[in-house]
Amino acid sequence: MQKRRIGEVEVSAIGLGGMPISVQGRPDRTQAIETINAAIDAGVTFIDTADAYSLDDTDFGHNEELIAEGLRGRSEEVFVATKGGHTRVPGGGWELDGRPEYLRKAVDG
């Protein structure tokens, strides 16, 4: 698999985007974990996630928690990128919040 550099880190040119395993139409938890591990087994070393990848505001953080569970025991094999500044609202809508205090909360989370 081809590689790319992110700063000092070399990662696979093809990564795994975590969003589909946490939003509407998502697979069950077991299938999502199997997907993460199948990607790593296939040579993927870059995973993209965000705290807002969830159904709505009631399971905010779902994707980051799922990725962490899927990487248990394998975290040294993968570079994980996460984003902040997007939020979810009741009913599943998206909003932006780029305030420094919100971004700090996202980093701490």
Look up 102 and say whether it is catalytic: no
43 within 8 A of 15, measured Cβ to Cβ = no
Task: Show the beta-strand stretches assigned E in 1-109.
Answer: 3-6, 9-12, 16-17, 46-50, 79-83, 86-88, 94-96
DSSP state of 20: G
Catalytic residue among 47, 49, 53, 78: 53
Catalytic residue numbers, as ranges: 53
